[in-house]
A and B are shown apart, each in its own frame.
Chain A
Amino acid sequence: MKDASGGAQRVQRYMNRELAEGAAAHRDRIREAAAAQAQKHIAAMKALARPKAMEYFDEMSDHFGTRAEELRKFKEAGGKVIGSLCYFAPAEIVAAFGAVPVRFCSGVYEAVHPANDLLGDAGLCPLVKSTLGLKMSGASPILELCDLVIVPTPCDAKLKLGEILQDMVDVHLMNMPAVKTTEAGRQSWIGEIKGLVAMLEKRFGQKLRPHMLKKSIQTYQRAQAAWRRFSALRKNGAIWGRDALLVAQLTFFDDIPRWTQNVQKLCDELEGRGPVAPDAARVMLGGSPIIWPNWKVPLLIEESGGIIIADELCSGSRTMYDPVVVEEWTLDGMLVALAERYMMPCTCPSFSPNLEREQNMLGKIRESGAEGMVFHVLRGCHLNSLDATKASRTLREQRIPMLKVESEYDEGDLEQVRTRVEAFIEMIKARRESSG
């Protein structure tokens, strides 16, 4: 398979001309809808008091705006943009080669339709369908800049998405072990990481030197430090959860040193501030990823009198929370540290036995003082749906209320979800009164 720009013919197993034309016809509509969706949410977020430093993140959140333009210029100047489909693909490695890692996951509602044309009703999660639709239609300029997509395969949907994407772009699949308690599983993942390095080395015609990787890891370590600082402030309720989630979201696209700087700036502004909503029900958000601009659930929670003070989303806290701790700065030492960082503490439901997830959820709830948990499940995300059942058991034992919210990528279920969320928040507040 040659580079797309080389013009070589791809073997297309899923796509055909008819589908491509149909998808292309969607392009403008998707762009408009996505922009409208984002603007609507930004406006809603701006309606309440928020720090001035958030302006930067608002600006960057636009897929079609400043950042896309920057990346286009970067690529014109000979830079490489590499996509990844999941939390698991270590951005540090891509960045070590001087390329810009971009996370491919999509939260655009409208983009689901081209994917439905291809898949029919496959029962896949809307995140995967939206990502596929975005690529099929070519609506997102940032995604169009990616020469290669790294696809770790934590779940069936991502696995097949990786397969289908091969019709349109170069794909590197990474096999995710589902059991991480065994040494064989860990070794297999380390092998995948080394395979990724080998593949990128070949593609870029450049050997990965320890100093390159060290520099890149340190860049991310600083970002992680900033995120930790931010998390502590967020726990105090100094910022709305939807803003915090947007900050995390931008690690998908943004220039990481600049992101770090801006997070620090945001922290400086928040330092010493009291909670934005002292009476709000403190909620922890977990479950399926919430990808910008799919801000339905966070906005619903916070408009109903809650505040998201912690999350365990792979699109939220998990992106930057766990630090890479390198003991030995040899290439091997760094790669092992990276491999373990992305796999070991990760609470993705694709793992079993996923004891970490319940333990971390409880730990985070205690640490942040959350009064309840909202477990978000994208319809079709079976793994999170199953984990929700497990989580509800664990939380019930600890007498922490939990609400499972299933949602699609459209606004059809908005009012229905709102009713449930409102009732949940009311219940939390009622509990507070009755116990204190």
Chain B
Amino acid sequence: MAVPAGTMAIAPTAAPAQTGKGKAKSRRRRFKIADMRILTQVFGLIFGNAMLIGLPLFGTSNILRHIYLPNASTKFFIYAPTYATLYKVQDTVFSGWNSSYIDLLVPLLIFVTLTIPLGRVWCAWLCPLGLPQDLLTRLRRRLGVRHLEIAPHHADFIHSLKYLGLAVIVFYTFALGAPFFDLKRMWNALPVPYEQFDPNRALYTYLQMAVGLAPPSTHVPIMSVLVTILFIGTCFAARRFWCHLCPQGAMMSLFNKTAFVRLRKDPDKCTHCRICYRVCPMEILNVYEQRGSSDVSSEKCVHCYNCVDNCPEDGCLSVELLGKKVVESKYRCQCDESGVRT
């Protein structure tokens, strides 16, 4: 641990030569991660996981249909050739009693293959529910409405609800399908739960109807409409509130702490200014509080990297993929981005 005195003393003399004129400027990160994310999300919405125009591009492919995505892509996107794992899990849990749930194996294997490397990266970068949340947050800021500050212990409680939600969904579906529960009567009232209140369903079906992608007669369950209204409402009160509760997020969170994508912090460079905590939509305190370990990855993190984006210390926070640094924090004057020249 102790750095030999010699290296401490001698290293600096080399430092002045490194920071020449051009180098200091070229090293400056010009783009904002938040903007990159919006771009990726729009791209993902159109061509990727949500596949608004997926079918015309790829056609109905049997193989593609079975590559279930870990994030909240709904089964009800008209042109989406594939959909989220949770739907597949529900369907197989419901119908799998007779086949001993053997059909669960493939979707879960695909899920694990996609989630072990990336964790919840899907949430902030590709999920079709992330984009509306981010855009509505921008709108909320424009309107000058401040979000609610959720205290860390409350946030922890809300975060834990997602696991409860996931457990309830899986258990209820299991109970529906398992003969000894004899819940067939419930089938009419609430068939397969997540389909009914997925905010995606109402959000995008109406959008698709509006632009003529979906026939106007498409059925949207009333629950989904209500949840969507709630979903939009929360965007004006809290940041990425749905991500706190999302059952698909809960599934991914199981692998988030061990994902190949890591958030790292150089505790020596940290000034404990608390900015990372203030800008974190998931209210993760650890990034701010951590003083010892360099790994500040969290089970709750959706990998939006607002913290890396806003950290004013060069190289203090960084994102690593398999030990390779992808991006790191860099001081920048906030005035630059609001269009005011220095």
Contact = CB atoms under 8 A, between A and B. Distances in A.
Contact of A330 (B146, B272, B278): B146
A79 interface: no
Contacts of A336: 278
Interface residues of A, number: 62
Interface stretch (B17-25, B61-69, B318-326): B17-25
Contacts of B268: 359, 362-363, 366
Interface stretch (A25-33, A49-57, A99-107, A318-326): A318-326
Contacts, number: 138
B285 to A, nearest CB: 10
Contact of A271 (B21, B144, B278): B21
A328 B141 contact: yes
B267 interface: yes
B342 interface: yes
A224 interface: yes
Nearest to A271: B21
A325 B272 contact: no
Chain B contact residues, majority secondary structure: loop
Contacts of B270: 359, 363
A435 B3 contact: no
A400 B8 contact: yes
A330 B148 CA distance: 12
A435 B141 CA distance: 56
Nearest to A225: B333
B8 A371 contact: yes
A82 to B, nearest CB: 24
A338 B8 CA distance: 35
Contacts of A322: 271, 273, 312
A324 B310 CA distance: 10
B278 A236 contact: no
Given A323-B333, A362-B268, A340 B278 contact: yes
B12 A371 contact: yes
A367 B24 contact: no
A222 B275 contact: no
Interface string A173-199: 000000000010000000000000000
Nearest to B333: A225
A432 interface: yes
A356 B3 CA distance: 20
A269 B17 CA distance: 17
A380 interface: no
A307 B145 CA distance: 49
B274 A340 contact: yes
A403 to B, nearest CB: 15
B10 A432 contact: yes
A328 B237 CA distance: 13
Given A275-B16, A431-B9, A345 B272 contact: yes
A4 interface: no
A399 interface: yes
A352 to B, nearest CB: 14
A397 interface: yes
A435 B10 contact: yes
B212 interface: no
B5 interface: yes
B59 to A, nearest CB: 44
A310 to B, nearest CB: 10
Interface string B1-45: 011111011111101100111001000000000000000000000
A272 B21 contact: yes
Contacts of B11: 369
A16 B9 CA distance: 56
A362 B274 CA distance: 19
Given A272-B20, A332-B146, A398-B8, A337 B15 contact: no
A389 interface: no
B10 A218 contact: no
A237 B15 CA distance: 10
Contacts of A328: 141, 146-147
Interface string B317-342: 00000000000000101111010101
Residue among A328, A370, A431 facing the most chain B CB atoms (10 A cut-off): A328
A274 B2 contact: no
Interface of A: 183, 210, 218, 221-222, 224-226, 228, 232, 235-238, 260, 264, 271-272, 274-275, 278, 282, 309, 322-330, 332-333, 336-337, 340-341, 344-345, 355-356, 359-360, 362-363, 365-371, 397-400, 428, 431-432, 435-436
Interface of B: 2-6, 8-13, 15-16, 19-21, 24, 141, 144-147, 151-152, 267-275, 278-279, 291, 310, 312, 331, 333-336, 338, 340, 342
Given A224-B333, A344-B272, A435-B4, 4 more contacts: A271-B21, A322-B273, A327-B279, A367-B269
15 contacts: A222-B342, A224-B333, A264-B342, A272-B20, A275-B16, A322-B271, A325-B310, A328-B147, A330-B144, A340-B274, A340-B278, A345-B273, A355-B272, A368-B12, A399-B5
In the A-B complex, the 4 residue pairs with the smallest Cβ-Cβ separation, listed nearest first, are A369-B12, A435-B6, A225-B333, A345-B273
